[in-house]
Amino acid sequence: MNRELTDWTGKFGLPRFDLIHDEDFAPAMEATLAEAEARIEAIAANPEAPSFANTVAALETAEQALNNVCAVFYTLTGVASNPEREALSRDFAPLLAAHGSKVGMDKRLYDRVAKVWEGADALPPEDRRITELALRDFRRAGAGLTGAERERMAEIRQRLAVLYTRFGQNVLADERDFVMTVGDDRLAGLPDWLIAAMRAAAKERGQAGQVVTLNRSLIVPFLEYSDDRELREIAWRAWVARGSGAGAGGAETDNIALVAEILALRHECAQLLGYADFAAYKLEPEMAGTAERVEELLTAVWTAAKKRADTDGAALSDMMQQDGVNATLAPWDWRYYAGRKRRAEHDLDEGEVKPYLTLDAMLGAVFDVAGRLFGLTFEPFEARLWSPDTRAWRIMRDGREMAIFLGDYFARPSKRSGAWCGALRHQHKIGAGQRAIVTNVCNFTPPATPGGQAYLSWDDAHTLFHEFGHALHHILSDVHWPSISGTSVARDFVELPSQLYEHWLELPEVLDRHARHAETGAALPADLRDRIIAAGNADQGFSTLEYLESALVDLEFHRGAPPSDPMARQAEILAGLDAPAAIPMRHATPHFAHAFSGDGYSSGYYSYLWSEVMDADAFEAFREAGDIFDAETARRLEAAILSRGGSAPADALWTEFRGRMPGVEPLLKGRGLN
């Protein structure tokens, strides 16, 4: 076995990715799985009376070697997939699911933890918390099941792991395989920066001219700027066809039958555990608690957003008619006319903005804000990582290492779409303790020429701040146990730090300091800055509805009996909402990775909006202090939320910071929907 997979020897404790090869993973997975099972068996079979030390604390470190192997492997499958890694993912999924089921349903472990819980009142708060969570997790995993029900639960979890892997790989294949050539005679309306990005994408694929791919940083601006309605429709249809059987991979990448099976298995799993449906099971440990509370929030925002979207849609339809387009406003028209409307109303041209939003400039802003709020400094260093584009920093405070931070920012055909934050290593204080190794992964358009500047859109800049907000949750984590470290919190609480951090991007003093012209170094003109900020709420009806459609479909899919035909049920839900035909779901079911490439956000896509209610109110705390960099407010935010991980229930952490629960009004105000 390659020991580099378990005992990392790179700089500052990083794995040496240059010494790790695909053929190393299967032996390492086999060996570390066996080691983890032996350690856990020793805990379960321990003849000594159950104690916190010999049971709950022992479980915290029993799988460390296995976790290290998985951290490296699944980081690589996200950022640098290949056929070998995809095949390994399919092999590993049922093995890891079987291991998880075996541990989670071990009645001996469950009984030992339950015995520790009987005396938990005498434990320190964090020890009591992880005992409580361990007991809950065993119960929710099915440790109380017996006989045929127990066997069926294990079968379900293994099958779901296989389906999740296939779902994600099918979406990636459709994204990777679609390329639309755009001839020189069909570039009307496209700005120079977008044409350059399309040419760079063509060159990367060994083609001449310009192409559109399904990279969001490429296809979204194409849909916004292209005057060619026919090409917009082709591009849009390919984008929404991912995973539907009508995508680039055809029937081979059809996810619809997988979704039906996933929903049926989830429902069966919930009922085996005594819940009415999967939504009831999944929402039990979240802040929201019930599907009814989620629906109440989503419906309240839907009403305000629908009113705005209907008004905007009528205006865009008028613009189409003025162009001589005698057709109904379609999904491939909305971004195009909304973009024209926004540029006209705010005198805003993205080509004018982009030179001020280089990746380096915006990283400078991200790091400066973290420094001013939390005293962090960033020291870049060279490391042997998975891509030469990936960058590394050592994050320090008062001479102490706080974390290692890795940023992988550019789109590649082998990279999963979207943006995310991960952790190769979590902070904890066991023994000598360790600090986190955190990753931010994005899919920005790379520089047109090697070594050149990478230009971000305003949305890209928001994404950069968003993902670093997640990173701060890991960087500032200060708990004893790894299972409650960093982002190990309720799903509808985890987006609070990320969405809160986005607010600082829009502050004039941040933009004035960091948004500098790539060629001249001149500061972003005040009038242009104000126009960018003023345009921030343009088209909020569209962006809010497309999100809410996905959130409501996700919720309804998991309430009651599962649909045998997910696409028919999706259409029924949207019809019941009276959703505008020109505003489709942000993530249609066949490529809804949040919900179906794992169960992290299943019944939980609403959590972005739930967290936004809190982030709007949290930022208001800085305004109330009279200084958006107020040191005392930042200290309280770190002490109550960012450093605490899952060491207390989310509502308790929030109330400790703010003193009360928030209302929906600041959210509606922030989106301009009030």
Q: Which amino acid is at 125?
A: P
Domain 354-537 has CATH 1.10.490.20: no
CATH of 291-353+538-670, one of 1.10.1370.10, 3.10.440.10, 3.40.50.12710, 3.90.79.10: 1.10.1370.10
Angle between helices 147-177 and 83-104 (to 10 degrees): 160
408 SS3 class: strand
Residue 671: the pLDDT is 83
Instruction: Determine the longest span between alpha carbons in the chain, in angstroms.
Output: 82
The domain locations on the chain are 3-104+106-144, 178-253, 291-353+538-670, 354-537
- Token digits of residue 369: 């804000």
Residues with pLDDT less than 50, the chain: none
Rounded Cα distance, 209 and 216, in Å: 20
Q: Residue 292 burial (CB < 10 Å; 0-12/13-18/19+)?
A: exposed
Fold annotation for 3-104+106-144:
Glutathione S-transferase Yfyf (Class Pi); Chain A, domain 2 (1.20.1050)
Rounded Cα distance, 247 and 237, in Å: 9
What does DSSP say about strands 400-410 and 436-444: parallel, antiparallel, or unpaired?
parallel
Task: Give the 3-state secondary structure of 168-227.
Answer: HHHHHHHHHHCCEEECHHHCCCCCHHHHHHHHHHHHHCCCCCEEECCCHHHHHHHHHHCC
Let me know if the fold of 3-104+106-144 is the same as that of 354-537. Answer: no
| Residue 292 appears among annotated catalytic residues | no
User: Choosing from 175, 286, 350, 467, which is the catalytic residue?
Assistant: 467
pLDDT per residue as tens digits for the range 195-218: 999 999 999 899 999 999 998 889
